[in-house]
Amino acid sequence: MTLSRLYRLGKEQLSTLPGGEDNSPMEAAFLFEKALGLDWRERFRRGQEPAPEEGAAAFLALIRRRLAGEPLQYLLGEWEFYGLPFQVGPGVLIPRPETELLVDRVLELCRGLSSPVLLDLCSGSGCIPIALGKALPSASLWGVELSPHALEYFRQNLARNGVPNVTAVAGDIFALPEEVTGRRYDIITANPPYIPRGELPGLQAEVGWEPPLALDGGEDGLDFYRRLPGLCAPLLKPGGWLLLEIGEGQGEAVAGLLAGAAFDRVQVVTDLSGLERCVWGQRKD
Ligand code: GLN
């Protein structure tokens, strides 16, 4: 079989995946490159050459796993966030492009600060603190993660991206170690689990492969938002900011929780698709 025929075979199989959009050409191209080491240009140029047996078998095995619902990002083992590479795999939430909104806002808030001190809670892969640490070399950042699996990815991502100003801390955000509580922060960020528990089984099949610990926000999805403002207010410097990613329809409730816990200038912000995506507020002096 030629390289071109092999690619088309994989693409045709992927086009049967359920879901609104047909991403089969893009997904097949990614998996083809992963298995055979040929990017799309090389694939065009060498399309009529016979496919090496081992590479073809590896490609078709990846296609089978993808058809069984495994996320593309886990199969690739890495994914991009804020222009940086992140190792991902079972046990860690895949960084989502929507989360870049929160990073953008933090960078705006940091413009006037010479050496900001930042904390990220529920860090997962570390995508938020690493993106911030890379963009703000003079900042000091800490990221807290409970899951040992996710923390392992966080540490690999620190090494991969070379961000000496970011520290990964193992721990429960509701029992923060002294290493974290021993200083005051300019900004605290979090993308906590926020899916209402009852909605978890109905989500896209791919999300079922991700760790429930990163998704399950309790009965109404708001469990973490009930506790985060009270937890973060005393850790912030006066005038410091708390920025939280939220799920669809949670803006009003989360804004109310921030306003009720000594936060001012509370704002619900929508992402590029017009969905409520972040809530932020400033600690009152
Ligand atoms: N953005 C994720 C999703 O919609 C949820 C992440 C989270 O709970 N923080 O699948």
Please tell me the predicted confidence (pLDDT) of residue 27.
97
What are the tokens at 245? 């990613």
Q: Please, what is the average pLDDT of the chain?
A: 96
Supply the pLDDT for residue 9: 98
Which structure tokens are listed for 14? 């992927």
Closest CA to 101 of 278, 254, 282: 278
How far is ligand 1, taken at its centre, from the CA of residue 165, in Å?
Answer: 27
Q: Beta-strand (E) ranges in 2-156? A: 78-81, 84-87, 117-121, 140-145
CA distance 41 to 164: 36
CB 95 within 8 A of CB 86: yes
Query: What pLDDT is attached to residue 285?
Result: 78
Residue 193 Cβ contacting ligand 1 at under 6 Å: yes
Beta carbons within 8 Å of 91's beta carbon, 6+ residues apart: 147, 149, 150, 152, 153, 211
d(CA 250, ligand 1 centre) in Å = 12
Reply yes or no on whether the pLDDT at 46 is more than 80: yes
d(CA 89, CA 252): 33
Other CB atoms within 10 A of residue 212 CB: 12
**Percentage of residues in the chain having pLDDT higher than 90:** 96
Q: Hey, whose CA ends up nearest to atom 7 of ligand 1?
A: 193
Shortest-distance Cα residue to atom 5 of ligand 1 = 215
* In the block, residue with structure tokens 């936060």: 263
Phi, psi of 51 (to 5 degrees): -75, 135
pLDDT digits (tens, 9 = 90+) for 169-226: 999 999 999 999 999 999 999 999 999 999 999 998 899 999 999 999 999 999 999 9
pLDDT of residue 211: 96
Q: CA 8, CA 155: separation in Å to the nearest integer?
A: 37
217-258 per-position pLDDT tens digit: 999 999 999 999 999 999 999 999 999 999 999 999 999 999
Output the pLDDT for position 196. Answer: 96
126 secondary structure, DSSP code: T
Q: Whose CA is nearest to atom 10 of ligand 1?
A: 207
Q: What is the pLDDT of residues 110-130, one digit of tens each?
A: 998 999 999 999 999 999 999
Residue 21 is predicted with a pLDDT of 85
Model confidence at 272, in pLDDT bands (50, 70, 90)?
confident
Which atom of ligand 1 is nearest the CA belonging to 216?
A: 8
Question: Could you say which DSSP state residue 209 is in?
Answer: G
Q: Which atom of ligand 1 is nearest to the CA of 191?
A: 9
Closest C-alpha to 27, from 11, 8, 50: 11
CA distance 154 to 157: 5
Q: Percent of the chain having pLDDT more than 70?
A: 100
Query: What's the CA gap between 129 and 108, in Å, rounded?
Result: 15
Q: Is the pLDDT of residue 20 over 80?
A: no
The position carrying tokens 């900042």 is: 139
